[in-house]
Amino acid sequence: MSENDILVVGGAGYIGSHMCKYLWRRGYRPVVIDNLVCGHRAAVQWGPFIEGDFGDPAVLNRVFSEYDIQGVLHFAAYASVPESVAHPLKYYANNVANTLNLLQAMVSRKVRRMIFSSSCATYGDVDTLPIVETQVQRPVNPYGRTKWMVEQILDDFASAYGVRAVCLRYFNAAGADPDGHLGEDHRPETHLIPIILKTALGQREFLSVCGDDYPTRDGTCVRDYIHVDDLAQAHLLALERLFAGGPGGKYNLGNGDGFTVREVLDRSRKITGKAIPARVEARRPGDVPVLIGSTEKAVRELGWRPEFSDMDVIIKTAWDWQRRHPEGYADDGR
Ligand code: UDP
């Protein structure tokens, strides 16, 4: 038991593992639950690990009994837009129903501080940019709807049970641990930057550019990329605000700036020094043309100061990880 125990659900995954390192560096003990469906055992390096599913009440019971959990950071979710369109049941069952299970355990154990990984996908296709938090949320794919539903559930749990939750609406998480210990390793990989870098390494023949007929400056989709360590910093600030008695809330986390797929590709070619072949293919179902977030609220209210906003630094840290770990984490493929 420790007064510094923080439960990190999904702590073996990409963002969760960076979060654990960040917590550890600041004197907390991250207690990880992960079923290793998307996460990697080798990414859990900073505290105790419980292999199990957060949808399983017995797993949660054990963790809340064995550790003095002061707050919960909830990263465990399926997060592929096209997959959510093809398999909505999988997304609602895990991202929504299992989260209810986690919340039930928290309420019964009187753990009432939660930082929830929400998403810019809750906004849908918007008219006004950059997106501010008060923008109406109209998600256009099942993934975005799962995150939006949990945000509403958390509002109801705040009123009824006193759970204080900070929902952090990430734009596109990218980059890797600047020390090189951790990186992005999804199997299969679906995200733009790691796919580009795997193409640079020759592991893929070409990058499929998913549509070049969007109403954007070069026809490809615009996204707001945010470094994974800057996300971690915002989580800790949000958690410490709850410790200090502050309220829950909803915050965008991005850079306030957008890059097209082609621009990301061009910068990656410069940074890697590789040709990186690309082919324009069909649009991907569920994609919206532009997502750029205003992050003024997080800066103002949480005191967030992103350190790795430069797109070249984001790509470079990701490249350093990919090139040193071309096969990803050296574990058993999980
Ligand atoms: N994208 C692409 N080719 C790929 C993967 C992604 O053109 O192989 C595009 C995708 O259509 C989107 C952007 O890159 O516009 C970012 O996609 P990603 O899956 O990284 O994040 P998302 O925005 O879906 O969360």
Best of 123, 210, 311 to mutate for ligand 1, by most ligand atoms within 8 A of CB?
210
Active site residue 78: no
Region of residue 273 (phi > 0: left; psi between -120 and 50: alpha; otherwise: beta):
left
Question: From the CA of 13, how far away is ligand 1's center (Å)?
Answer: 19
Domain boundaries, the chain: 5-174+225-253, 192-223+256-324
User: Do residues 153 and 294 make contact, with C-beta atoms less than 8 angstroms apart?
Assistant: no
The pLDDT score that the predictor gives to residue 1 is: 44
Question: From the CA of 305, how far away is ligand 1's center (Å)?
Answer: 26
Mind listing the pLDDT tens digit of every residue in the chain (334 residues)?
A: 456 999 999 999 999 999 999 999 999 999 999 999 999 999 999 999 999 999 999 999 999 999 999 999 999 999 988 899 999 999 999 999 999 999 999 999 999 999 999 999 999 888 899 999 999 999 999 999 999 999 999 999 999 999 999 999 999 999 999 999 999 999 988 999 999 999 999 999 999 999 999 999 999 999 999 999 999 999 999 999 999 999 999 999 999 999 999 999 999 999 999 999 999 999 998 788 999 999 999 999 999 999 999 999 999 999 999 999 999 998 754 4
In Å, the largest CA–CA distance within the chain is: 56
Rg (CA), the chain: 19
Question: From the CA of 146, how far away is ligand 1's center (Å)?
Answer: 19
Best of 231, 261, 266, 291 to mutate for ligand 1, by most ligand atoms within 8 A of CB?
261
Of 282, 285, 281, nearest to 87 by C-alpha is 285
On the question of a common fold for 5-174+225-253 and 192-223+256-324, the answer reads no
Among residues 143, 170, 251, 329, the one annotated as catalytic is: 143
> Which protein residues are within 6 Å of ligand 1, measured from CB?
81, 172, 190-192, 195, 207-210, 221, 223, 261, 284, 287
Of 263, 140, 131, 275, nearest to 192 by C-alpha is 263
**Arch. (CATH architecture) of 192-223+256-324:** Alpha-Beta Complex (3.90)
> In this structure, which CATH number among 1.25.10.10, 3.40.190.10, 3.40.50.720, 2.60.40.1930 belongs to the domain 5-174+225-253?
3.40.50.720
Question: From the CA of 191, how far away is ligand 1's center (Å)?
Answer: 6
Q: Which atom of ligand 1 is nearest to the CA of 195?
A: 8
Residue nearest to atom 14 of ligand 1 (CA): 192
Residue nearest to atom 1 of ligand 1 (CA): 192
Cα separation, 118 vs 140, whole angstroms: 15
In angstroms, what CA-CA distances link 73 with 7, 166, 220? 6, 10, 34
In angstroms, what CA-CA distances link 48 with 84, 91, 128, 146? 31, 27, 44, 29
